[in-house]
Structure 1
Amino acid sequence: MTDAEFRLAVERYGDMLFRLAYSCTRSRADAEDVMQETLLKLYTAQKAFESPDHEKNWLVRVAVNECRHLLRTPWRRRTGPLEEAADTPVWDTPAQSELFRQVMALPPKYRAAIYLYYYEGYAVREIAALLGAKISTVQTWLLRARGQLKLRLKEAESQ
């Protein structure tokens, strides 16, 4: 991969990779690490991609694997996260802020499925391939995530 091709790929996919990693890790620093590792693997990969969609799917799959690897490390299991209130995004309305907070409170597999389905526009079949799960499993994750979000948002609204 040439430097110019790499720069183009970073511009095209960098934000998407960061958002995906942030939705999985809930940490800006970890999301940046995952994004950098993913892009480094792209740069060093001796792989010819069939199309931009093939390249994007490959990057999403690598990013998901990097997130899983990061979340499984012994360091993460033995330490507690610091509160990173300063790192949370600022939203235009309180409803957007509440929705983001509730989505981030979901388990990682639900967050990743919600992000890929609603924000990146992937079909359930594609999400299953990217996350290494069965189609019915992804459908269940989306169903459960929607149910949890519905309950949590109703509770927050009534308070």
Structure 2
Amino acid sequence: MPQDEAAFAKFYARHVDTVYRMCYIRMKNQMDAEDVTQDVFLRAMQQPQLWSDDDHARAWLLVTASNLCKNAMHHWSRTKREEVEDWEATLGTTASPDEVSAVMSAVMGLPDQYKTVVYLFYYEGYSGAEIAGMLGKKESTVRSMLHRGKKILLKALGGEPYAEAGR
């Protein structure tokens, strides 16, 4: 295997699960998520400078995935999306299948502006400042979006607002 192919294979292996999860949350079904994930990595193949810079690469991949998902959803907006069948297997969580399904359905039900921010913050562990940089928004806007998204999720899941200690 040539050196470039080996470098890209390692890059792909490090990031494919993260990109796929982002796409799956946005696209709501396996086939579309796989298609967009493939498109993201096809674009990444043209950017060899990304392959060795994990911090920049991860941000670039997630922003690219988000944008491609948005484009695909716009393109396919009249097509009915499949329901999520097995979140536990997809996300590798230890929560009960009913809990996972309820939370992920609620996240998928968020308006797109909140869905992306909530995903990046809670699932990928990015800070508000990092998300702001990725999305080209002010950090205060990202914090507001997280707050509103969380309120929507709590209401959808039947939780009490501000149920977390200290928030």
Q: Same fold (TM over 0.5)?
A: yes
Amino acid at match of 2:18: M
- Normalization by structure 2: what TM-score? 0.79
Closer/same/farther in 2, CA of residues 41 and 19 from structure 1, 3 Å limit: same
Match of 1:22 in 2: 24
Match of 1:128 in 2: 132
Counterpart secondary structure, 1:66: helix
Is there any run of 5+ residues in structure 2 with no aligned partner, and where?
Answer: 160-167
Match of 2:63 in 1: 61
Amino acid at match of 2:87: P
1:81 counterpart = 2:80? yes
Match of 2:105 in 1: 101
Q: Distance in 2 between matches of 1:151 and 1:141?
A: 15
Number of paired residues? Answer: 151
Quote the sequence identity (%).
32
- Normalization by structure 1: what TM-score? 0.83
**What is the CA distance between 1:48 and its match in structure 2?**
5.5
Q: Distance in 2 between matches of 1:44 and 1:102?
A: 35
Q: Distance in 2 between matches of 1:61 and 1:83?
A: 24
Closer/same/farther in 2, CA of residues 21 and 83 from structure 1, 3 Å limit: closer
Amino acid at match of 2:124: E
Deviations for 1:64-115, whole angstroms, at most 9, x for unmatched residues? 2211221222xx23x23143354x4247412232212211211122121111
Could you list the runs of 4 or more consecutive aligned residues of structure 1 that deviate by over 6 angstroms after TM superposition? none
Q: Which has the higher contact order (CA 8 A, sep 6+)?
A: 1
